Structure 1
Amino acid sequence: MAEMIQGSSQWLEARCGRFTASRGHEAFAFRKDGKPYAARENYIMEVVAERLTGYATQHFVSSAMMDGQEREPQAADAYAFLFGADLTQVGFVEHPQIPMSGASPDRLVGEDGLLEIKCPTIKTHLDTLLCGEIPEEYLAQMRWQMACTGRQWCDFASWHPSVPAHLRLWVKRLHRDDAQIAKDEAAVVAFLAEVDARVAKLLGTDQAEAA
Structure 2
Amino acid sequence: MKRNFIVSEHPQNTPEWFADRCGRATGSKAAAITAKVKSGEAATRADYRVQLALERLLVKPCADEFSNDDTDRGHEREPFARMRYEIVTGITVEQCGFVYREDIMAGCSPDGLLEDAGRLGLWEAKCPKSKTHFKYLLEQRVPPTYQNQVLHNMLVTGAEFVDFVSFDPDMPGKLQLFIFRWERDEALIKEYEAELRQFLMEVDATHKQIAAMAA
Shared fold, TM over 0.5: yes
The count of residues paired between Structure 1 and Structure 2 equals 205
TM-score, normalization by structure 1: 0.89
TM-score, normalization by structure 2: 0.88
- Residue among 97, 117, 134 paired with 2:103: 97
**Bigger shift: residues 182-191 or 72-81:** 182-191
**What SS does structure 1 have at the residue aligned with 2:165?**
strand
**What SS does structure 1 have at the residue aligned with 2:79?**
helix
Residue 84 (1) aligns with residue 90 (2): yes
Deviations 1:161-184 (A, max 9, x none): 111011111111111111221222
Aligned-residue offset at 1:64: 2.6
Confirm or deny: 8 A CA contact 1:96 1:148 kept in the other structure. Answer: no
List gaps (5 residues or longer) in structure 2.
Answer: 1-6
> Matched residues in 2 for 1:175 and 1:123: separation?
26
- Residue among 179, 190, 206 paired with 1:171: 179
- Residue among 81, 102, 107 paired with 1:75: 81
- Residue among 151, 156, 162 paired with 2:159: 151
The residue that corresponds to 1:182 in the other structure is 190
Aligned-residue offset at 1:12: 0.8
AA in 1 matched with 2:210: L
> Matched residues in 2 for 1:121 and 1:201: separation?
43
Moved over 6 A (4+): none
Identity across matched positions, percent = 36
> Matched residues in 2 for 1:175 and 1:34: separation?
34
List gaps (5 residues or longer) in structure 1.
Answer: none
Superposition pairs for residues 9-48 of structure 1, below 5 Å?
A: 9-31=15-37, 33=38, 35-48=40-53
> Matched residues in 1 for 2:43 and 2:36: separation?
9
AA in 1 matched with 2:193: E
AA in 1 matched with 2:200: L
**What SS does structure 2 have at the residue aligned with 1:24?**
helix
AA in 2 matched with 1:38: A
